[in-house]
Amino acid sequence: MRDRVFFTLAFGAKKFGHMAMGLGRSLKLIGDPTPRAVLTDIDDFPWENAFDIVIREAVPKEDIWWAKLYARDRIDAKSILFLDGDALAFKRLDPIFRAGEGGVFGVQGPWRSEGEWYGPDISEVCAKAGVTAMPQFNGGLMYYEPGAQLEELIAEAKDVSANAAKYEWTLSRGVPADEVCLSLAMARTGIGRAFPESTNFQNSGVGLIGRLDLDVMKNRCRYVCRRYDVQFVEPRIFHAHFYSKFLIYWRQLRALEKLEQYELKHPYGYMSPWQKLERSVQRRLVKLRRG
């Protein structure tokens, strides 16, 4: 059994394959040692170049959101970190695993008792569900530990989903979003942790102010945004989300793909003819200056 596994999904259109490959490549580029797994039904991608575990499987339409939790019975691991495929990693995953350890289920976001979320105000949902607050989070990051407590949480979330009409949530792809169902299940069962927003394990740049400074070649992701507060952030994981429609994101995916191609074509320690010539010239200059 592995201690830890990173897990993502890529199914449907080929663009999702490009996105997931970008995420896997970004984790490889920063040297994250966590074994990487992908579940996909998309062919014609060199999955094994970026992932240690490739699960080829189609996802039924009714499981469009719950597939995030598929790794619990398909991979033998003590703890699993799911990230949406439209993400890029700029820092290693270890702090996220440490924060979630022993908590069964973990997401990033504050516990809230009011404020609009998927349509109705949270206060209305809490009143109907008989809870005082629920965590508001982005489901692009989920930490979980397979076992009886996780199954209890998922069963409660699916029950919430089956009876979602009374909460009057805005549907996502024809069904209630996984976030609200899991959030209410956490509030009802007391299972799981909500990591503070200040951890910035993940940030999607919602409410961007000014320029998005994003560059995988310089390992740089930083910007100012207005979410709950106006903040300067340098997230561990950038969840492209809205920005997956912007060219800057796709340029990062192309840069990562080029690096992979370079690695496959060049041996260890490769030095180009131009670099060799430059070294030779500068070596002579150094010798002349130092005698």
Helix axes 247-265, 14-29, angle to 10 degrees: 60
pLDDT in tens, 108-149: 999 999 999 999 999 999 999 999 999 999 999 999 999 999
pLDDT in tens, 149-166: 999 999 999 999 999 999
2-199, which class in CATH? alpha beta
Six token digits for residue 154: 């998922």
**Is the model's pLDDT at 174 over the cut of 90?**
no
Q: Where are the domains of the chain?
A: 2-199
Non-local (6+) Cβ contacts of 118 within 8 A are 169, 170, 172, 176, 177, 179, 180
CB 118 within 8 A of CB 138: no
Q: How confident is the model at residue 291 (pLDDT cuts 50, 70, 90)?
A: low
CB 10 within 8 A of CB 71: no
**CA gap 43, 150 in Å, rounded:** 32
**Is the model's pLDDT at 230 over the cut of 80?**
yes
**Is the model's pLDDT at 37 over the cut of 90?**
yes
**pTM for the model:** 0.94
CB 89 within 8 A of CB 23: yes
CB 238 within 8 A of CB 203: yes
Q: How confident is the model at residue 98 (pLDDT cuts 50, 70, 90)?
A: very high
**CA gap 38, 7 in Å, rounded:** 6
